[in-house]
Amino acid sequence: MAGATSRATSARTILLRPGADLTGFRDAARRLAAENVPPEAVTFSAESAPSLFGDDAPPGSDAPLVLPRAVTSLIPSVVPHRDPERYGLLYALIWRVLHGERHLMEVASDPLVHRLTRMAKAIGRDLHKMHAFLRFRRVEDPAGERYVAWFEPDHHILEAAAPFFVRRFAGMRWTILTPEGRAVWDGDTLAYGPPGSRADVPEGDGFEAGWQTYYETTFNPARVNPKAMRAEMPKKYWRNMPETAAIPALLRGAADRTAQMIEREPTLPARREPARAVAAMADQDPKSLDELNAIIRKTEPLVPGATQAVLGEGPLDATIAFVGEQPGDQEDLKGRPFVGPAGQLLARAMAEAGIDREASYLTNAVKHFKFTLRGKRRIHEKPTAGEVSHYRWWLDRELEFVAPKLVVALGATAVLALTGKAIPITRSRGPFRFDRLDNRFQGYITVHPSYLLRLPDEAKEEAYAAFITDLKRIATLGAELAT
């Protein structure tokens, strides 16, 4: 027993990867906590090393640390900080939380919490500066067009910042160079490599010249405040931003341009004809389902991350239209509705109930996949009422073009989209008229097939039989309405 205690409290040096080694720190913290090693017995060193604990790696636990959400969200926001004490401070926080101070993060006046919070805010500011002030320049390589940018962050934020540019410029091939490393996006994969230099980036391109011209013409001399400009856009970033070359001249001429604006006679805005404006707006509405789908394809998802919009599928003269919640993982990848596990269950149930899937129209209330990333898995996340409302216009127009005799709402989200109200499925299951659509469509409310997949095995058989009963009633009602 004495030997075990001595080993737990002996001094440890933890060697981590230079920069922001989030994975290495998490693994080290998990092992140290499992062995009950106090913070004062640990030294973290960000140097190249053959292994995490040196040659004599102690046995450790792979069990995850159970920490409050505030702590788990703080750790990745502090690890990129340049302060060499960051890992030791984070482990001290973890130690205290695991040893009786579960609500430590709520004590803002605690010196440790205060310091780590300030470090997280510094990382947030550095990320904001990189997102706002990084400028790409166009180059040609053997594979074609590529964009290159140079940036000098204050902290080790390259790996934390790069996914933002993947989402924003997914269709471009680009490279971001920093003094510590590089991020490379080839259109499919994000990779990291060795550092670069400012000399690796061209001085300018045609787009940059156009951007500088635009900046000069939109510069408002009446709102010049050099102090505020430097506070928001520090001078250290100026040499990498094309528009800043014009700032000194614009500042020198601001007084004269302001005086000219004051002396210039005010002009009344051109009179517009409301009737013509309304007619022009109406003319922009899609005239067919194909035109509507083209608009949906081009529109960015409300919640970033989706691979593509998933459109409705089926004939325009379909008697029955099925409306689900949103695409799932498989639907997002394949670009087709109801092809994942829930869709396969629906297809089987429709066949048993005598409904021809190929003759039916299938769509979703929300057109993009919303998910939470857990490791490499994309876990479905329920859309909010605001997101459902955002997509509602598309669904209304889609159903107008398809003009089914019967609209089936699969689950509560579909009911919300079709009625504008949160109506419990258990209370409204069965025939229903969707008043939001001016009673144009007779409706039917039932559960979503994904609900059946989530049930325990002992309850699935009864729930599936009830679902088949609903589909048989839907088939009968559809046939009656068709005649």
Give pLDDT tens digits for 143-193.
788 899 999 999 999 999 999 999 988 888 999 999 999 999 998 999 999
- Locate the domains of the chain by residue range: 4-128, 134-200, 208-254, 289-482
418 has pLDDT over 80? yes
Are 326 and 368 a contacting pair, CB within 8 Å? yes
Query: What mean pLDDT is predicted for residues 272-301?
Result: 77
230 has pLDDT over 70? no
Residue environment code for 151-180, b if the CB has 16+ CB neighbours within 10 A, otherwise e: bebebbbbbbbbeebbeeeeebbbbbbbeb
Beta bridge partners of 419: none
State pTM to two decimals. Answer: 0.48
Q: For 26-136, list the strands marked E by DSSP.
A: 42-46
Greater model confidence, 445 or 274: 445
What confidence category does residue 231 fall into, taking pLDDT thresholds of 50, 70 and 90? low
Are 147 and 137 a contacting pair, CB within 8 Å? yes
Q: How much is the pLDDT for 55?
A: 39
Tell me which DSSP letter residue 313 carries: B
Cβ-based neighbours of 239, under 8 Å, separated by 6 or more: none
Query: What mean pLDDT is predicted for residues 44-58?
Result: 54
442 has pLDDT over 80? yes
Tell me which DSSP letter residue 237 carries: G
31 has pLDDT over 90? yes
Are 314 and 354 a contacting pair, CB within 8 Å? no
What confidence category does residue 5 fall into, taking pLDDT thresholds of 50, 70 and 90? very low
Highest-scoring range by mean pLDDT, 181-190, 250-259, 299-308: 181-190
Question: What's the token pair of residue 449?
Answer: 């097939």
Greater model confidence, 121 or 170: 121
The kind and range of the H/E element at 296 are helix 289-298
Catalogue the long-range contacts made by 220-228 (C-beta closer than 8 Å, 24 or more residues apart).
221/250, 221/253, 221/254, 221/255, 221/257, 221/258, 221/261, 222/254, 222/258, 222/261, 224/251, 224/254, 226/251
Greater model confidence, 344 or 57: 344
Average pLDDT across the chain, whole number: 85
* Measured CA angle at 72 (ends 66, 78), to 5 deg: 140
Greater model confidence, 478 or 60: 478
* Measured CA angle at 305 (ends 299, 308), to 5 deg: 45
What confidence category does residue 243 fall into, taking pLDDT thresholds of 50, 70 and 90? low
d(CA 174, CA 166): 9
Are 182 and 192 a contacting pair, CB within 8 Å? yes
The CATH fold assigned to 289-482 is: Uracil-DNA Glycosylase, subunit E (3.40.470)
Q: How much is the pLDDT for 140?
A: 81
Question: What's the token pair of residue 476?
Answer: 């009968």
Q: What is the pLDDT of residues 364-404, one digit of tens each?
A: 999 999 998 888 889 989 999 888 988 998 999 999 999 99
Greater model confidence, 246 or 325: 325
d(CA 108, CA 74): 13
**Burial class of 472 by CB neighbour count within 10 A (0 to 12, 13 to 18, 19+):** middle
d(CA 116, CA 128): 19
237 has pLDDT over 90? no
Beta bridge partners of 323: 363, 409
Q: What is the pLDDT of residues 70-119, one digit of tens each?
A: 999 999 999 999 999 999 999 999 999 999 999 999 999 999 999 999 99
